[in-house]
Chains A and B, each alone.
Chain A
Amino acid sequence: MTLLQVDSLSSYYGDARALHDVSLEIGDGEIIAVIGSNGAGKTTTLRTVSGLIKPHAGDISFEGMSILKMPAHRRIELGIAHVPEGRRLFPQMSVRENLLMGAYGASTWKSRRSLIDEMCDLFPRLRERIGQYAGTLSGGERQMLATARALMSRPRLLMLDEPSLGLAPKIVKTLFTIIERINGEGVAVLVVEQNVQLALKLATRAYLLENGHMIKSGETASFLQDEDIRRAYLGV
């Protein structure tokens, strides 16, 4: 069943067109990757899905219902959790308070304590840092916290913007194992990555964005075999 359907999205940054007719879809429990170089429109696509940017044309629907007119703060209650570019933690709030923000929605707020426990089991480092300001965490810990904050909302769809950026390879590996495990529990995952190799290994399907155009989509295997993609993005 289709969970998220993005249909012919177009948007502008001032006069410059950021997205041209971008479409993508993700099924329930699926894991997909959106790849492309810097400025291709990957972040704009995610920000449009979560409602931070209003598109000029096109439609977005979640479980068959258009969410275009729904304000950003209500989309999380549908089950769309977005870990934005740069993590965007609340730096002067403790790890615990950042997690609480993830459960801010009325339906998760009641079970916030048990959710925090769950997250600390999933990311043991967060338990050690629970009282510390988020601004004092290391890069890896920040990404863990940002992911855990999103999971606190019990999402149906987890959207991750450049989760591997700036992290040591070992931490990236841990993180991606956890993402796979979350996906295994039925959460659909949409990951945007500049690290194409990593993204194609994680996902089952992928989309390629270039200059705001969606120029290729399909099984990740077909991406790995594509000569142009190998040359441009995998360096082989």
Chain B
Amino acid sequence: MDMPLPLIIAQIINGLIAGSMYALFASGLTLIWGTMKMLNFAHGEFFMLGGYLVYYFYAVLGLNPAIAALLAVGIVFVLGMLIERVVIQHLLSSPVWQLSTIIATLGISIFLQNVALHIWGPDFQNVPYFINGVANIFGIRIAYQRLLIFGVSVVSISLMWFLLKHTRFGLALRATSQDSDAAQLYGVNVLAVYTLTFGISAALAALAAVMLSPIMGVNPYMGLSPLLKGFVVVILGGLGSFSGAILGGLMLGVIESLGVLYTSTEWGDVIAFGFLVLIIWVRPWGLLGVEERN
């Protein structure tokens, strides 16, 4: 079937915008997998809390959206570090840490969902757009809010990339993820790296929710679907690969939105997940992951 070209381009742009949010969310997941080799099932709830906090500071208290966003991301950053320090760190030295961290993060996830349910109730809450209006770019109409989403994710992903590649902390983080014993031998306080990484990861999830909440609203269970898609993106890009998560996120976004164009919304997921199965069939280690040889 023939689709008009502007419509396809518009859908690709929409896909990139949605994909940039997947990328932001998934880069936090992959960062934790890469450094700590654990799966964080509470990542979706850091996302959810980011959404509720911006709802509270911006929609309820009426603070400036930029300040509300900073507060929301900052609070979730501190909370992430606290949870790592109090709950996760003790489990890492256990011989069954892989299982116990999964159970612990699942527990944290359920706990945080219920905290949100208790405070804000089960209904969707609306968050107004940070900026109103629609841009017209070569005949394609995009809401400013969506442009803002894209801009914020480009800036924050670039900052993350700089942090990882060009700072002393980034060097320590990458060294820890490749060989934590050797990193310790050369002076890296590995436990402190874990704590900070967990906080950064949580902050990235919160930032994604802050940007998306005006479009999708907030709800105690809003973290569930992104978590599943986040895992898809992380596996698609290659477990532990930061650039893989960015690429995987953008791809998933574009495939979904093109899929919707040709079929119905329900089929979008089928196409996206079918594509994932296809990729890990051909490249089990993901797009940018490293093939493990034994």
Residue positions of A touching B, CB distance < 8 A: 50-52, 71-74, 76-77, 81-82, 84, 88-93, 97, 100-102, 104-105, 109, 149, 153
Contacts and interface: CB of A to CB of B under 8 A. Distances in A.
Interface stretch (B176-184, B215-223, B260-268): B176-184
B175 A101 contact: yes
Interface stretch (B58-66, B112-120, B148-156, B166-174): B166-174
A90 B185 contact: no
Contacts of B179: 88-90
Contacts, number: 70
Nearest to A83: B185
A186 to B, nearest CB: 21
Q: Which 3 A-B pairs have the closest CB atoms?
A: A88-B182, A104-B187, A72-B184
A149 B175 CA distance: 13
A82 B183 CA distance: 11
B177 to A, nearest CB: 9
Given A51-B184, A73-B190, 8 more contacts: A72-B185, A84-B181, A90-B183, A91-B178, A93-B178, A101-B186, A104-B168, A105-B186
Given A104-B168, A104-B171, A73 B182 contact: no
B132 to A, nearest CB: 45
A39 to B, nearest CB: 19
A105 B190 CA distance: 14
Contacts of A93: 171, 174-175, 178
A153 B187 contact: yes
Contact of A104 (B172, B181, B290): B172
Given A104-B168, A109-B168, A90 B184 contact: no
Contacts of B185: 50, 52, 72-73, 76, 81-82, 84, 88
Contacts of A90: 174-175, 178-179, 182-183
A181 B229 CA distance: 56
12 contacts: A51-B184, A73-B190, A74-B187, A82-B185, A84-B182, A88-B181, A89-B179, A89-B182, A91-B178, A102-B186, A104-B186, A104-B187
